[in-house]
Structure 1
């Protein structure tokens, strides 16, 4: 029975990665922002860092301000990823 439960847990954890979209594009006035979800998921490994208590597929209070406060701060803290406006916002 323990093996069945362990297998179910592993499958459900792997399903999150399998079901995650490769990329998401957010249209903005400053230019589209392309977010590479699967890359972030594989690097961070902890969905709660972004999704919090809302759970997979949802981010409570997601907005421009949330992204600037959360994403930019994380990039600055880790010394990786874009932190300047034109690094994320790309005009066509």
Structure 2
């Protein structure tokens, strides 16, 4: 679990440093999550939909955030994956 969050932190830090990456891979024990950042920025033009104040690192990002915020947004909008195997790929 500590390794997961260390890798996750490294990936998120690198992504914010490198600018808006097109695709971001979040390692997870039940399968990596490949996040299409470019597609989300095209659909959601206001970065504050996901980011707290401005583009960059998302505060408190992790499993709980993704399951509540990302999945919740997909459910509300009626689009995007909402089941485990649709995000987590082994």
Q: Deviations over 1:34-76 (max 9, x none)?
A: 00001000101010010022x2121010010000000000000
Q: Deviations over 1:4-33 (max 9, x none)?
A: xxxxxxxxxxxxxxx421100011001000
Alpha-carbon RMSD across the aligned residues, in angstroms, is 0.8
- SS of the counterpart of 1:51? coil
The gaps in structure 1 that reach 5 residues or longer are 1-18
Q: Determine the C-alpha separation between the residues in 1 that align with 2:77 and 2:36.
A: 17
What is the 5 A alignment of 1:45-56? Answer: 45-53=45-53, 55-56=54-55
Match of 2:32 in 1: 32
Provide TM-score, normalisation by structure 2.
0.77
List structure 1 runs of 4+ shifted beyond 3 angstroms.
none
**Structure having the higher Rg:** 1
Matched residue count: 72
Provide TM-score, normalisation by structure 1.
0.75
| More helix by percentage | 1
The gaps in structure 2 that reach 5 residues or longer are 1-18
